């Protein structure tokens, strides 16, 4: 290939890409959304191919180590959890296994409970779950290409919306195209939608409470999860009691004074305020939750909020986030082993394969689901589930009953794409804390797969589908 080199760029002649595969339904990303979409479409008779950049399905919940098994919504989600249980990958922590857990300030989820009160935290082993999910895709007849990265779209302009002809991917076979009829956005960061030219709102747009510091709009911070095994939590709790150090602040101060941890590891909340709760803004103390097995815990490291990084849109931001968070993991693990009784025999078991993006691109669809829809309790003729009732973070955790229309799955400007999961046409304030959980993301995938298979069978585009009754008739 002859390449024309100028001072600040290369001119590369248009490439002739081989068509490596062709399928009726092409799914980008095998997270909760893409996984369920692929299985549902395949079970309804469509030929389906999935491209996944990591070595297992499950997205944030497996590759990202967020193995939450809470919530029961039926469908493929219920099937998966039952299968994980049958294969021994579900772990339940409660007040019997963790008498010192509820109300302990070191816990991610149960810190606000009454000390010693009953609780149940159900998780699945992320690595085991990835194996089972891979088998389920295979059993459904889905062709899944792992370690395969979606990089671009081949588009055809139409009189109205454009159409995707094929996607361009790269894996050890090189760079090639996959042609399809219906394309499903399952990347978790709306990468397919962005490359296809769908309009979107970047993460960080117009978030409440940011002006109280400096008026800069920043995304809700992303995070890197990691696990430690070999922790004796009752010894940790004994140390908290005996040293009168419930938040480990004295222990942290000692390690800081000795130069054993960087000052930003346990950074304070900005301006003393916990806008997204203590978990996301500041990282004032250890933040952990039981997962997978006795003595194994998942720990959180969030991107410092003040840096305002957009890992989904900037390679520089992503590189900085990974370097920083990996250095925090290393520092935290060394600190815990050296200073905190109960961690002497602990070891890093795994670090998430990626820094998860909580507030990435929000594609604009035929309907943008907003907080107003929730507060007004709007009903839609194309509702995808029976009315749901959930507490909304931005409204003081008050519960609201609402419906979600199928039009949130349909991106503006492109005719043959269906959105799922964290890439639905939702505003950040509806997505965050409420409409981004694992069970719901799997439901959205199942709905998208159902719609895609109907499109293939009926030779229709998704925007021409009649949608007169909810896919999930019973609310979660």
Ligand X SMILES: Cc1cc2nc3c(=O)[nH]c(=O)nc-3n(C[C@H](O)[C@H](O)[C@H](O)COP(=O)(O)OP(=O)(O)OC[C@H]3O[C@@H](n4cnc5c(N)ncnc54)[C@H](O)[C@@H]3O)c2cc1C
Question: DSSP secondary-structure letter at 342?
Answer: T
CB of 448 to ligand X, least distance (A): 10
Structure tokens at 184: 């499903």
Sequence-distant (≥ 6) Cβ neighbours of residue 128 within 8 angstroms: 84, 87, 88, 89
Q: Rounded to whole angstroms, how far apart are CA atoms 52 and 13? A: 28
User: Contact region for ligand X (CB under 6 A) — 63-71, 159-167, 229-237, 465-473?
Assistant: 63-71
> Is residue 280 involved in binding ligand X (CB under 6 A)?
no
Task: Report, in Å, the least distance between residue 307 CB and ligand X.
Answer: 15
Question: DSSP label at 338?
Answer: H
Tokens coding 128? 């085991």
CB closer to ligand X, 158 vs 205: 205
Q: Which of 290, 437, 456, 461 binds ligand X (CB under 6 A)?
A: 437
**Cβ 265 to ligand X, closest distance in Å?**
18
| Listed ranges 18-26, 53-61, 210-218, 273-281: which one lies at the site for ligand X (CB under 6 A) | 53-61
107 or 437, CB closer to ligand X?
A: 437
Binding ligand X (rule: CB under 6 A), the pick from 101, 328, 438, 450 is 438
Q: Which stretch binds ligand X (CB under 6 A): 136-144, 394-402, 404-412, 417-425?
A: 417-425
Give yes or no for residue 365 binding ligand X (CB under 6 A): no
Between the alpha carbon of residue 90 and those of residues 81, 129, 244, 254, 289, the distances in Å are 8, 9, 35, 38, 15
By CB under 6 A, tell whether 448 contacts ligand X.
Answer: no
User: Smallest gap, in angstroms, from Cβ of residue 203 to ligand X?
Assistant: 11
Is 61 an interacting residue with respect to ligand X (CB under 6 A)? yes
Measure Cα distances from 145 to 19, 39, 106, 446 in Å. Answer: 15, 14, 40, 20
Determine if 430 is a binding residue for ligand X (CB under 6 A): no
Residue 203 makes contact with ligand X by CB under 6 A: no
Q: How many CB atoms lie within 10 A of CB 341?
A: 15
Least Cβ distance, residue 458 to ligand X (angstroms): 26
Stretch that binds ligand X, among 54-62, 249-257, 361-369, 446-454 (CB under 6 A): 54-62
Question: Cα 390–409–189 angle (5° rounding)?
Answer: 85
Q: Which of 32, 203, 204, 405 binds ligand X (CB under 6 A)?
A: 32
- Mark the segment that binds ligand X (CB under 6 A) among 41-49, 52-60, 446-454, 463-471: 52-60
Listed in order, strand segments (DSSP E) in 295-368 are 297-302, 347-351, 362-363
- Binding mask of the shown chain, residues 64 to 83, with x at each position contacting ligand X by CB under 6 A: --x-x---------------
* Piece of the chain touching ligand X by CB under 6 A; list 48-56, 123-131, 229-237, 342-350: 48-56
Q: Does 34 bind ligand X (CB under 6 A)?
A: yes
Contact at 8 Å (CB) between 36 and 77?
yes
Please compute, for residue 107, the number of CA atoms within 13 A of its CA located in the half-sphere on the CB side.
24
**Contact letters (x/-) for ligand X, 168-187, by CB under 6 A?**
------------------xx
If the CB atoms of residues 251 and 423 are measured against ligand X, the closer one turns out to be 423
Shortest Cβ 253–ligand X spacing (Å): 28
Question: Among residues 183 and 438, whose Cβ is nearest to ligand X?
Answer: 438
CB atoms within 10 A of CB 382: 20
Which residue in 62, 54, 221, 205 sits closest to 128, CA to CA? Answer: 62
Residues 6+ apart with CB under 8 A from 5: 11
With respect to ligand X, which residue has the nearer C-beta, 310 or 340?
Answer: 310
Q: Which residue has the tokens 């039981």?
A: 290
Token look-up 């059993």 returns 139
Using alpha carbons, select from 371, 400, 369, 372 the residue that is nearest to residue 382. 369
**Judged by CB, which is closer to ligand X: 53, or 367?**
53
Looking at 156-164, 341-349, 397-405, 415-423, which segment touches ligand X (CB under 6 A)?
A: 415-423
Q: Which of 20, 29, 130, 304: binder of ligand X (CB under 6 A)? A: 29
Per DSSP bridges, beta strands 48-51 and 143-145 are parallel
Using the minimum distance from each CB to ligand X, give the nearer residue, 112 or 464. 112
Nearest CA to 388 among 289, 470, 276? 470
Cα 316 from Cα 323, distance rounded (Å): 11
For residue 225, the number of C-alpha atoms closer than 13 Å in the C-beta half-sphere is 22
Binding residues for ligand X (CB under 6 A): 28-34, 51-54, 59-61, 63, 66, 68, 149-150, 186-188, 191, 222-223, 356-358, 420-423, 436-438, 441
């Amino acid at each position: 290939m002859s390449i024309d080199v100028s001072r600040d760029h290369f001119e590369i002649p248009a490439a002739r890409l081989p068509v490596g595969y062709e399928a009726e339904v092409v799914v980008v990303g095998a997270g909760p959304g893409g996984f369920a979409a692929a299985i549902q479409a395949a079970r309804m008779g469509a030929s389906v191919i999935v491209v996944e950049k990591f070595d297992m399905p499950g997205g944030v919940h497996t590759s990202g180590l967020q193995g939450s098994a809470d919530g029961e919504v039926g469908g493929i989600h219920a099937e998966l959890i039952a299968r994980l249980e049958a294969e021994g990958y579900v772990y339940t922590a409660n007040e019997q296994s963790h008498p010192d857990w509820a109300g302990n300030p070191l816990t991610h989820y149960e810190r606000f409970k009454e000390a010693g009160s009953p609780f149940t935290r159900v998780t699945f082993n992320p690595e085991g779950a990835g194996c089972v999910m891979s088998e389920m895709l295979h059993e459904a007849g889905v062709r899944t290409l792992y370690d395969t990265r979606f990089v671009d779209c081949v588009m055809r302009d139409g009189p109205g919306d454009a159409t995707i002809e094929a996607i361009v991917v790269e894996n050890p076979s090189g760079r090639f195209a996959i042609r399809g009829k219906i394309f499903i956005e399952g990347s978790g960061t709306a990468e397919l939608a962005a490359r296809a030219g769908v309009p979107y709102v970047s993460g960080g747009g117009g978030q409440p409470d940011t002006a109280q510091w400096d008026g800069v709009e920043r995304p809700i911070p992303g995070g890197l999860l990691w696990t430690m095994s070999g922790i004796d939590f009752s010894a940790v709790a004994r140390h908290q009691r005996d040293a009168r150090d419930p938040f480990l602040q004295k222990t942290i101060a000692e390690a800081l004074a000795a130069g054993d941890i960087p000052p930003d590891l346990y950074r304070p909340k900005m301006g003393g305020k916990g806008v997204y709760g203590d978990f996301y803004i500041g990282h004032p103390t250890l933040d952990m939750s039981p997962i997978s097995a006795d003595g194994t815990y998942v720990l959180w490291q969030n991107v410092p909020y003040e840096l305002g990084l957009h890992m989904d849109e900037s390679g520089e931001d992503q590189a900085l986030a990974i370097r920083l968070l990996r250095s925090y993991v290393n520092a935290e693990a060394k600190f815990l082993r050296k200073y905190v009784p109960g961690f002497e025999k602990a070891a890093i078991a795994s670090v998430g394969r990626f820094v998860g993006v909580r507030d990435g691109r929000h594609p604009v669809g035929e309907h943008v689901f907003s907080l107003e829809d929730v507060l007004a309790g709007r009903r839609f003729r194309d509702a995808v589930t029976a009315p749901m009732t959930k507490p909304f973070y931005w409204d003081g955790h008050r519960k609201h009953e609402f419906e979600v229309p199928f039009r949130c799955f349909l991106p503006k400007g492109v005719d043959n794409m269906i959105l799922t999961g964290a890439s639905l046409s939702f505003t950040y304030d509806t997505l965050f804390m409420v409409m981004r959980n694992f069970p719901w993301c799997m439901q959205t995938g199942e709905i998208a797969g159902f719609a895609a298979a109907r499109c293939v069978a009926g030779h229709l585009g998704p925007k021409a589908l009649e949608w007169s009754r909810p896919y999930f008739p019973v609310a979660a």
